[in-house]
Structure 1
Amino acid sequence: MHSTVTTDLSNLYQNLHDITGNNHKENVVLFKTGAFNPIHRAHLFNMIKAKEYLERIHDFRVIGGYLSPSHDEYVQAKLDEEFIVGHHRVRMCEEAIKEANQQHWLSVDKAEIMASHIMSISKVTLDLQTFINEMLKSERPIRVIFVTGLDLFNDCHGMRVMQQSPWNGVAVVYRSGVQEKLVESMQCVPCEKLFYIRNDSADNQSEVLSGISSTEIRQRLRNEQWCEDLTYPSILNYMKMMRNEQKRR
């Protein structure tokens, strides 16, 4: 499933090469799937927040991260006429990463979107982890930690399978208005594979960003409303280009 065609490893190679000082830290890669229809500010914010938390609290070294747009078949069934074809969603993810200046560690994984059929989150995550370790051949295995919002974590009943070997864990990011009872109850049992990133910001930035959704972006665009607080100007420009192309057909 994963290959050098679908998955760019250059960030991982470069960041491993640049390591100085403490070589005893555990190297990890962050991974997030989603429709990204379209990508918005909270998607990247959650990845950045997870990276900062895991490095600061758990002393991991995050050597890279991937956004994985979901398979066209899945997104089209879910969104119908609002569905954005896969290669456009990939391109917008790339543009967002560049605009947010996170390209030194984040990139887009195309394995899920290029697969012949829909794959489960656990399958895609484990396959990425296997591919990375086969290619990098590090002395210590590199773990891939799946990053998810609290809402999806609850919908998937705590993603228990992702916290069992050979999977290497889940980082759950707080989302405004979503019940925390499940994740807090699971944290009562000591676990090295469940990481809950609470809303500990002194300002309300996390609260505002955690409430952003692609649904709201699509709704505002239909009403010709301002959206730059929800996503990046490059994404809005790209979507405008897509609409203009559709009108010319």
Structure 2
Amino acid sequence: MPPAPAPARFAFVASSSSSAQTARRQLTDRYGNHDPDEADVIIPLGGDGFMLESMHRYMGLGTPMFGMNRGTIGFLMNAYDADSLPERVAQAHLQPLRPLKMTAESEGGARLEAVAFNEVSMLRQERQAAKLRILINGRERMDELICDGIIVATAAGSTAYNLSANGPIIPIGSPMLALTPISPFRPRRWRGALLPAAAHIRVEVIERWKRPVSAVADHNEARNVISVEIAEDPEAEVRMLFDADHNLEERILTEQFSFG
């Protein structure tokens, strides 16, 4: 008879909120706690913002992550329950997520490289609308877009800022990206585009001395950008775990029929 498998080693990491810290103490007392680089599963406790921070922080470990909601919305999290955690994790649905890589060039030659699991957004910095030129795979697709900004969203991020800007929801696992304008003024009726995940996107800022623009990859920001290049990062990935009866694919489907 083969030996029983060793119990999973959990690393409980928590946001600074009192509910997350209380949950971390309860779970540690019950299941023990390990350093993230020694754990079999990392358990972030908090909201979606903390989950994104954890994805960035521990991405290089390649360790699966099973988040539990101690925040507000918790779209990227599982429901919090201190009971039967090893069984839930063992039965969880594995969903790999691959981020976007942003390379932003700013005035003075500064460059920022950052990854985004939700979206890369470009936003006007001052009172005047941004004026942008869009190229896809080296070919100009729009010579001038006047707007408050644009968003390039992954499938996982399509229900976040992208949805609030009237962008499309993309089913998880679809090899697509959403390119969505924010308050477009010219062309006024342009609602954006769906692009292959393999697309290389370049956005250039027109009249940048008059209409400054910032670029943000999740939470990393570059100011006064000249141009931004965006493409899926083929070398980066996080492995997310979701309860089998409420996995990320089901959440995205549910979101499309929600009117709240």
Superposition TM-score, scaled by structure 1 size: 0.21
Q: TM-score, normalised by structure 2?
A: 0.21
Q: Please identify which structure carries the higher strand content.
A: 2
Q: Which has the higher contact order (CA 8 A, sep 6+)?
A: 1
Larger proportion of helix: 1
